Structure 1
């Protein structure tokens, strides 16, 4: 039944990792790119809106700058990305044009999605492109942003784009068939459905790192947490298989399906929960944790046991229990200095409207 609902998807985000786009030298594989574009074009022609989040810019620039192997210096990586991004887009433009489709390049940094006005502007731009039948091709702005190059953050970027719109489904196509138990052993097994991401599942993911992927499976689980909590399903599957998108969207058992939360977070709550680098942390006692999680209350001064960080009123903060486990995020109504002085009485440090349980 869970997979049956994927037949109703009308807007999807497809993320293509470096490993699935490139050859053994980590440079773009034209035949592989052609079959992936053909799959995306088929979904567009079936009436679905499709956004593509792509990696591969560094690999596309390596050959042009004479690198036989991926450089390690940040400035060299960024130079490869700057040269490679235009080459990558030229390839995509040609491949999609063969199917009568127009593409648009959208380069994003985290700040574009964190700042509220820029966040809404990015969403409006993407929605307008989709309305015109265009396929947006999205990448981290690697030439100026080191986070993606250093941390392999396009999995996270694809999850944030999915939550931004919001889309109905995120599909991450990679070099493996999904989340694999006993990876590299005699009896590997693709886990078909994940309803909750816990410590045991994260241990499995750490054993499924691909040598051709910067982020590996761990970053894909982080992406899954974002879209699942937003109320959106996600599938990890093999981009080496032909017709894999068609099978997923026909409800067939392909890859690993991550089941979403039963209710979809509203847009502003998604923005608070996922689009910020929190500026500080509030540690709360058990009574406050219960009030926030189970009774839908605001966070009041008596419940705060400790305040860390240097933040101002209006900044997003993490909210953790006394063990340090983050269970919520919210917009602080007061600065860290005001909270530490413990002179606040009869006020809401984080109002319920500005708080999200993770």
Structure 2
């Protein structure tokens, strides 16, 4: 990550952003004993409404569906098995959507619920459909409340946490800023609960994270500081600066107050297709490369040719995304493959001159290849 913008600070860019994604963590909305806490939700809606009235489009990524369903179902802790999580989500999603709708109704603001799975973002067709839906809701002045569709998502198609979902949504809608609100007031260099931790106000690049120790989530959520850092890096690839702040300071966070930790973004936004290849798409297979191919792909940014492939793994088709790994098995990139797995298995190791004319095009074109 690096500082972004034409001389403006990261905080100035976030404060003046025309399009904003706001992610709200489970701990900011729910409790184990009482489920959904409308008393905490209402001030968040007020802060979001104020930002919208100031001229910004806002998409909300709201956690809390599972947490909101725990108490009504008589559970005493966040469930671990998938079926109970999905049952809690089915109860909680209804309560969560109604709570947001009732809160924004005070301002005559309509709310639309958008439930996504990782598969929806990974597939280009549904990716575009989700993008169009969110864009249209914003154009109509409604607030999109996005959540992972926990009632149908399986372990294989989960985003993992709503911090990552929020970063992907920020890219999906072409947002100018991402605001992560939770129960922490910023990034610390160590666990603040253990004392002697220092709040880090600005993160301009990876060097600002040297020595930072990030933990996992709490009782009600699946995220944590590690997931927020990962989301900030992901958003950086999309050219989106990030503000991490406490939900209790939502008003200040959304009105330009000096709160939380600001993460700078890349100076140039990664193209939608390359971002999709790197972060959103599910890899359908794996190509093992020799050392020469690794140098060509990773260092010289050349297209991948069949001659450099030593092994083909998985069942993929022309147009699928595949992982590219080196001789040691380390991931070196991802790309859109131009051949089926069966076809490619007969081509690997052969130079283009030895192949029929219709098989001489690159296996992964440089334009469709993203090093990692």
TM-score computed with the length of structure 1 as normaliser = 0.89
Match of 1:194 in 2: 203
Query: Where does residue 72 of structure 2 map in the other structure?
Result: 64
Q: Given the alignment of the two structures, is residue 233 of structure 1 paired with residue 247 of structure 2, yes or no?
A: no
Q: 2: CA distance between counterparts of 1:311 and 1:259? A: 37
Once residues 112 and 230 of structure 2 are traced to their aligned partners in structure 1, the CA distance between those partners, rounded to angstroms, is: 27
Write out aligned runs for 1:1-358 (5 A).
1-23=9-31, 25=33, 27-147=35-155, 152-183=160-191, 184-197=193-206, 204-206=213-215, 209-247=217-255, 250=256, 252-341=257-346, 342=348, 344-346=350-352, 347=360, 348-358=362-372
CA-to-aligned-CA distance 1:212-262 (integer Å, 9 cap, x gap): 432212222222222111211122211122523235xx2x54222222112
Q: C-alpha separation between the residues in 1 aligned to 2:198 and 2:21?
A: 26
8 Å Cα contact 2:19-2:177 kept in structure 1? yes
How far apart are the structure 2 equivalents of 1:86 and 1:116? Answer: 28
Paired positions, count? 354
Comparing 21-30 and 10-19, the one that deviates more: 21-30
| Counterpart-to-counterpart distance in 1, 2:310 and 2:12 | 46
Question: Contact (CA 8 Å) 1:13, 1:53: kept in 2 or not?
Answer: yes
- Tell me the alpha carbon deviations over residues 63-95 of structure 1, each in whole angstroms, 9 at most, x when there is no partner: 332223333332222111111111111111110
Give the unaligned 5+ runs of structure 1.
none
In 2, the alpha carbon distance for the partners of 1:137 and 1:227 equals 19
Deviations 1:102-149 (A, max 9, x none): 110111122222221221111111111100110000111111113499
Does structure 1 conserve the Cα–Cα contact (< 8 Å) formed by 2:32 and 2:67? Answer: no
- 1:317 Cα deviation after fit: 1.1
Q: 1:198 Cα deviation (Å)?
A: 7.9
The structure-2 alpha-carbon separation of the partners of 1:310 and 1:22, relative to structure 1 and needing over 3 Å to count, comes to same
Give me the whole-angstrom Cα distance separating, in 2, the residues matched to 1:242 and 1:264. 26
Distance 1:78 1:209, change over 3 A: closer
Task: Quote how far apart the aligned CAs of 1:280 are.
Answer: 2.2
Change (3 A) 1:151 1:110: closer
Say whether the 8 Å CA contact 2:70–2:76 is kept in structure 1: yes
Q: Check 1:284–1:253 CA distance in 2 against 1; reply closer, same or farther (3 A cut).
A: farther
Deviates more, 1:128-137 or 1:236-245: 236-245
**TM-score, normalised with respect to structure 2:** 0.86
**Retained in 2: the 8 A contact 1:25–1:69?**
no
Describe the superposition over 1:244-298 as per-residue Cα deviations: whole angstroms up to 9, x where unpaired.
3235xx2x54222222112112222222222212122234345434433443321
Give the secondary structure class of the aligned counterpart of 1:104.
Answer: strand
